Amino acid sequence: MGKTLAEKILSARSGNNARAGDIVIAQVDLVFVQDTTGPLTVRQFQKSGLKKLAKPERTAVFIDHAVPSPTHTLSNDHLVLRRFAGETGAMLSDVGEGVCHQLVAESLARPGDVIVASDSHTVTAGGLGAFATGMGSSDVAVAMGLGKTWFRVPESIRITVAGKFQKGVSAKDLILHLIGRLGADGATYKALEFGGDSIKEISMSQRFTIANMAVEAGAKAGVFPADELTRDYLSEQGRGTDYQPVFPDADAVYEQTMQIDLNNLEPTVAKPHTVDNVALARELKGTKIQQVFIGTCTNGRLDDLEIAAEILKGKKRYSGTRLIVAPASRQVLMASLEKGYLQTLIAAGATVLPPGCGPCLGLHQGALGDEEACLSTSNRNFKGRMGNPRGFVYLGSPATAAATALAGEITDPREVM
Amino acid sequence: MLRGKAFKFGDGISTDHIIPGRHAHLRSNLPELAKHVLEDADPTFVSRVKEGDFIVAGNNFGLGSSREHAPLVIKMAGVSAILAKSVARIFFRNAINLGLPVLICDTDGINDGDELEVDLSAGIVKDVTSGQKLTFGKIPQVMLRILDEGGLIPYIKKHGDFKL
Ligand code: SF4
């Protein structure tokens, strides 16, 4: 009987024949924290009696959520993290480098790795063929000290993709469509495993978008095979030697199989206040939007800014709609400057923020006013998410976001392309 | 035996309802942070909840972020256990890691304000107000051991490693 991607990776890292439902202790290849959950992780680590990091060179501290710091209390939290990194030898990624998940994808995650971190969107690295999952501060503190953690090996739902994305449609539409079908708890405790004939139609950046949102269906992980696209991406990032092929067995056993035909997908939007509350963008025409946000670990990469720039080139945002752009990393920022995308977006009326989470979690910058609505390329639209329980967050692709910024109301991007 | 009053919530209470990101600047000041627990779901909760009371919820309680501050502020508010029809994965693990029991049972018959008694070892919830008795699903063995030690950190402090 063959194995799923999750079973294969957890077997290799636990030294056991890991099967869905088993409890295993697995070696952890990379562990990280960010600045809103990191200080509690540091406190738990100190309380645990564990003295040292198991693998300082594979432990990372990211300061990305509140950057630059908006309050002195958060500045003090940043100090705690810088001190911890200095004392333990962990890697430190400081203000302005970018969102942890993007930096992990660019520089740290490897196919076949087990990755845990105190952020639920750790699942993003599944785009590279890693088994990556979010945990709380106590679990992450212990994983830092022991270099391992326990897992219940998840059942997997196989998502088979066929066809080709049509114009104006991208990974964000796929994953919103899928979450709409599964529901916000449809994959709780499970892994989503992507495959099928058209897996090569999904670029690495798009794979990160899809894996990133696996957790919005409750999944423990969203995993892609590590194929030629993965190999090419790692070479482009100057770390070709990190590549190893990772594929599921042909006779792996899945709890359920679902098909997605890319040809049939349309621009899709999640309405307030849950991610599984999806509709087609064209059905929401007329919904007034006061703020558009393009960025985050979901859709703040170069191709995301490219499509937005393409749509907004030579045009101006609607006067009543603010447009905020935050590149996901310094690498994305530099490349989008070189390509001229940022200049185009600024000319169209965008406000550009430094690499980081920006307004995504409602901590600072871009907070909504009462009854205001935002169309965001991020991954969550829960009540209160963008700093105000009386605000409304709609989620969509960068193309939908750009089209919406032009019109001032939710707009199917195919209308303006 | 745990005893207290039921505070009823619906489906899909997220970590943003429990402790929203806009209060992240208070995360190293836990007593201040705890004043905001569940305010986006029920602004009166924090002033009414008493030591020993229960959160009684519908499906997918605690979905969203990995912030352990969510179960932490619930525990600090005095809540002795969470009863829900289902619970999100990370939240479940975080609550147990803090020594806060999460019990999966059919909560439909419990009304807001009901007096409850929970017998953790027998796996029984008694709704004293309605007289109804419920059983809840077993907590997995590995989590039970962590819960028995009062959470993951005390567990590791004692054993130095996972003993599964
Ligand atoms: S960009 Fe948003 S979802 Fe991603 S890590 Fe930052 S706050 Fe979380």
As a whole number, mean pLDDT of residues A273-285 equals 97
Residues of A in contact with B139 (CB under 8 A): none
Q: Taking each helix axis as running N to C, give the angle between helix B69-76 and helix B89-97, from 0 to 180 degrees, rounded to the nearest 10.
A: 50
Which residue's alpha carbon is nearest to atom 4 within ligand 1? A297
pLDDT at A215: 97
CA distance A113 to A128: 9
Sign of CA pseudo-dihedral A45, A23, A247, A298 = negative
Over residues A178-206, the pLDDT tens digits come to 999 999 999 999 999 999 999 999 999 99
Q: Least CB-CB distance to B16: which of A142, A152, A383? A: A383
Which residue's alpha carbon is nearest to atom 6 within ligand 1? A357
pLDDT(A276) > 90:
yes
A360 shares its domain with A316: yes
Q: What percent of chain B stands above pLDDT 90?
A: 91
Distance from the alpha carbon of residue B142 to the mean position of ligand 1, in angstroms: 30
Q: Mark which of A262, A290, A312 sits at the end of a domain.
A: A262
Beta-carbon count within 10 A of A24 CB: 21
Ligand 1 neighbour A118 (Cβ under 6 A): no
Ligand 1 neighbour A121 (Cβ under 6 A): yes
pLDDT(B138) > 90:
no
In ligand 1, which atom is closest to the CA atom of A120? 8
Q: Model confidence at B132, in pLDDT bands (50, 70, 90)?
A: very high
How confident is the prediction for chain A on average, in pLDDT?
Answer: 97
Over residues A7-58, the pLDDT tens digits come to 999 999 999 999 999 999 999 999 999 999 999 999 999 999 999 999 999 9
Distance from CA of A261 to the nearest CA of B (A): 28
Q: Least CB-CB distance to A37: which of B67, B140, B156? A: B67
Distance from CA of B103 to the nearest CA of A (A): 16
Q: Which of B16, B19, B39 to mutate to test the interface with A (most CBs of A within 10 A)?
A: B16
A197 CB burial (10 A radius; 0-12, 13-18, 19+): exposed
Q: What percent of chain A stands above pLDDT 70?
A: 100
| Residues of the domain holding A382 | 268-415
pLDDT at A324: 98
CB pair distance less than 8 Å for A36 and B40: no
* Nearby residues of A236 by Cβ (< 8 Å), 6 or more positions away: none
Distance from the alpha carbon of residue A66 to the mean position of ligand 1, in angstroms: 10
A284 shares its domain with A218: no
CB pair distance less than 8 Å for A138 and B16: no
Within its chain, how far is the Cα of A337 from the centroid?
A: 22
pLDDT(B164) > 80:
no
pLDDT at A53: 98
Residue appearing with tokens 């100190």: A46
Residues of A in contact with B142 (CB under 8 A): 23, 150
Hey, what amino acid is at B65? S
Over residues A48-88, the pLDDT tens digits come to 999 999 999 999 999 999 999 999 999 999 999 999 999 99
Is the separation of the CB atoms in B7 and B112 below 8 Å?
yes
CB pair distance less than 8 Å for A362 and B27: no
CA distance A56 to A47: 19
pLDDT at A323: 98
pLDDT(A398) > 80:
yes
Hey, what amino acid is at A369? G
Ligand 1 neighbour A357 (Cβ under 6 A): yes
As a whole number, mean pLDDT of residues A286-308 equals 98
A332 shares its domain with A227: no
Q: Mark which of A244, A262, A280 sits at the end of a domain.
A: A262
User: What is the layout of strands, in order, in the sheet containing B81-84?
Assistant: B102-104, B81-84, B54-57, B2-8, B115-119, B124-127, B133-135
CA distance B157 to A46: 10
pLDDT at B163: 83
| Beta-strand pair A191-195/A221-223 | parallel
Architecture of domain B2-138: Alpha-Beta Barrel (3.20)
Regarding pTM above 0.90, the answer is: yes
As a whole number, mean pLDDT of residues A98-126 equals 98
pLDDT(B13) > 80:
yes
Sign of CA pseudo-dihedral A294, A298, A302, A308 = negative
Distance from the alpha carbon of residue B145 to the mean position of ligand 1, in angstroms: 33
pLDDT(B136) > 90:
yes
In ligand 1, which atom is closest to the CA atom of A295? 1
Distance from the alpha carbon of residue B84 to the mean position of ligand 1, in angstroms: 27
Ligand 1 neighbour A382 (Cβ under 6 A): no
Q: Where are the domains of chain B?
A: 2-138
A183 shares its domain with A95: yes
Count up the domains in chain A and report the number.
2
Q: Model confidence at A1, in pLDDT bands (50, 70, 90)?
A: confident
A165 shares its domain with A85: yes
A73 shares its domain with A205: yes
What's the first-to-final CA gap in chain B, in angstroms? 27
As a whole number, mean pLDDT of residues A381-387 equals 94
How confident is the prediction for chain B on average, in pLDDT?
Answer: 95
What's the first-to-final CA gap in chain A, in angstroms? 48
Closest residue in B to A71 (Cα) is B25
Q: Which of A33, A192, A385, A395 to mutate to test the interface with B (most CBs of B within 10 A)?
A: A385
> Token pair of A359, please?
């307004």
Ligand 1 neighbour A119 (Cβ under 6 A): yes
Q: Mark which of A262, A294, A319 sits at the end of a domain.
A: A262
Q: What is the CATH number of the domain that holds A290?
A: 3.30.499.10
- Comparing A137-146, A156-165, B24-33, B72-81, the range with the smallest average pLDDT is B24-33
Closest residue in A to B22 (Cα) is A363
CA distance A294 to A328: 10
pLDDT at A299: 98
A400 shares its domain with A276: yes
As a whole number, mean pLDDT of residues A127-136 equals 98
The three-class DSSP label of residue B163 is: coil
